[in-house]
Amino acid sequence: MADSTLSLLCRFAPRHTPRVRALLQLLGVTLFLLVGGGIVKAQQLLTRPDGEPFRLVLQWMPQAQFAGLYVAQDLGFYRDAGVALEIMRGGPDRDGVRLMKEGRVDFAQTWLSTAIEYHEKQLPLVHILQVLNRSNAAIIARKSKGIHKIEDLNGRRISLWEGQFRPPFQVLLGKTGIRPVVVPQYYTVSLFLRGGVDACSGMEYNELNMVYLAGIDREELTVFFLRDYGVNFPEDAILCRRDVWEQSPEACAMVAEASLRGWEYTRENPEKALDIVMGYVEQERLPTNRTHMRWMLQVILRSIFPEEGDRWTLGELSREDYETTARWVKDQHIIDNIPAYDVFRGQTRVP
């Protein structure tokens, strides 16, 4: 802000002598300190009870999937909303639920199904924002292996994610009655690329493009999007510990609002958002590139912002989607009871 004030002042005094310019700059700095300091004092940021900023942990390493949140952090949208929030990357070395349980983290972004499971089995959570309402999960198969329709997967060796990412695929297999030979899939699609399996699980915004960027053309693939088979799991959701919500529902509302603002900004300025994401990517020295991130952002935005014909509302989790998803999770014996929608949703939206 100091920089912009200075440059603004300088712009109006382009023909002044160096001495006059120095005076004007001094005036600018003084103004900034007075006004800026005043705002900070006047608007106290909400923090954790220990005075530390709230912490939000993501599912994974920095990537465009989280662009809106990184944008909100970097452009001060959380601060503008009145909350001090720090975003932590996720990854294989960080168990978000454990961090929440330990009280080291207040907010987490996970899949809705995962959140329901955690809420029911581990610790009470409150759902504060449904970021992705459109499922991106898919089964990616090679045409060269003779897979052209979903039935062709019967008896085939395919790799599927384990744990929290398995439920939607399990629902698909249950709904369609397909019986493939499943091997576990982890962070890469190497097994699929090396021909170890005929098909693998993947997200439209990530693995599908990774396969393409490994030299396999789209025409060589048959892609089964789960949403096309009626298995539309609402994915990324932001949750908070119930105790956090109970203590500071305003902070939760501010996080949800500022996060959405971040996504709206991202939609309007995708290249600027990519700059921010790539900054985090480079910081972590991750083996990815802007081309892939651009693709990811494009698909993610399509899954956040409803278009004509889409049934969801931006940022909202409908009762129907919630109950369908919860029932699917229950059907797989992951949970015994379906948590009440109102409890799970909390009252963050109703003052």
Partner 1 sequence: MFRNFNIGTRLTLLIILGVGLMLTVITIVDYTAARRMIQQELKEKASSLAQSTAGKMEVVKRAVEKIVQEVAIVIDNNDFSSDQAVNLLLNSVSAHSEVFGMVLAFGNGIGEDDTTPFIPYVFRGDETIEWADLAEAGDYSYWTYDWYNLPRDMSAPIWTDPYFDPESHQLMVTYSVPLTDPDSGLFRGVATGDVSLDWLIQLLAELELGESGYAFLLSSTGAIVAHPIQELVLTESIFSVAERFHDPRLREIGRDMISSGSGFVPFYSPFNKQDYWMAYTPVLGTEWSLAALFPRKVIMAKLFTFTKFKIILGLIGTLGLIVLSLLISRSISHPIQALDQAALQIASGKLDTEIPVIPGQDEVAHLGASFQAMKRDLILHIEELKTTTAERERIESDLRIARQIQLDLLPKSQEFTGPCSCFELSAFLEPAREVGGDFYDYFQFGDNLVYIALGDASGKGVPAALFVTVSRTFLRGMIRANPDPALAMTLLNDELSVGNETNMFLTLFCAVLNPETGVVQFANGGHNPTYLVDPVSGPSPFPKTQGCLVGPLEGMEFQRGQIQLKDGQVVFMYTDGVVEAMNTDQDLYGDDRLIEVLTRSKQKSPSEMVQDTLQSVRAFAGDAPQSDDITVCAFRWKDRTITRT
Between 159 and 248, name the residue whose CB sits nearer to partner 1. Answer: 159
Check binding of 99 to partner 1 (CB under 8 A).
Answer: no
In the complex, least distance from residue 296 CB atom to partner 1, rounded to whole angstroms? 12
- Find the binder of partner 1 among 11, 15, 285, 333 (CB under 8 A): 285
Extract the tokens encoding 155: 């008896």
- Find the binder of partner 1 among 6, 24, 99, 191 (CB under 8 A): 191
Check binding of 88 to partner 1 (CB under 8 A).
Answer: no
Check binding of 288 to partner 1 (CB under 8 A).
Answer: yes
In the complex, least distance from residue 104 CB atom to partner 1, rounded to whole angstroms? 14
| Closest among 191, 190, 211 to 140, alpha carbons compared | 211
Check binding of 197 to partner 1 (CB under 8 A).
Answer: yes
Interface pattern 213-232 for partner 1 (x via CB under 8 A): xxx-x---------------
| Closest among 111, 126, 119, 170 to 335, alpha carbons compared | 119
Instruction: Please report, as a single letter, which amino acid is at residue 126.
Output: V
Give the residues across from 111 on adjacent strands.
236
Check binding of 7 to partner 1 (CB under 8 A).
Answer: no
Please state, in angstroms and rounded to a whole number, the distance separating the CA atoms of residues 153 and 198: 8
The three-state DSSP-derived secondary structure of 13-73 is CCCCCHHHHHHHHHHHHHHHHHHHHHHHHHCCCECCCCCCCEEEECCCCCCHHHHHHHHHH
Interacting residues with partner 1 between 102 and 141 (CB under 8 A) = none
Between 20 and 214, name the residue whose CB sits nearer to partner 1. Answer: 214
Between 6 and 286, name the residue whose CB sits nearer to partner 1. Answer: 286
DSSP annotation string for 194-209? TTS-SEEEEETTTHHH
Please state, in angstroms and rounded to a whole number, the distance separating the CA atoms of residues 39 and 87: 24
Between 95 and 342, name the residue whose CB sits nearer to partner 1. Answer: 95
Extract the tokens encoding 94: 């960080």
Residues near partner 1 (CB under 8 A) are: 92-93, 95, 159, 183-184, 186-188, 190-191, 193-194, 196-197, 212-215, 217, 285-292
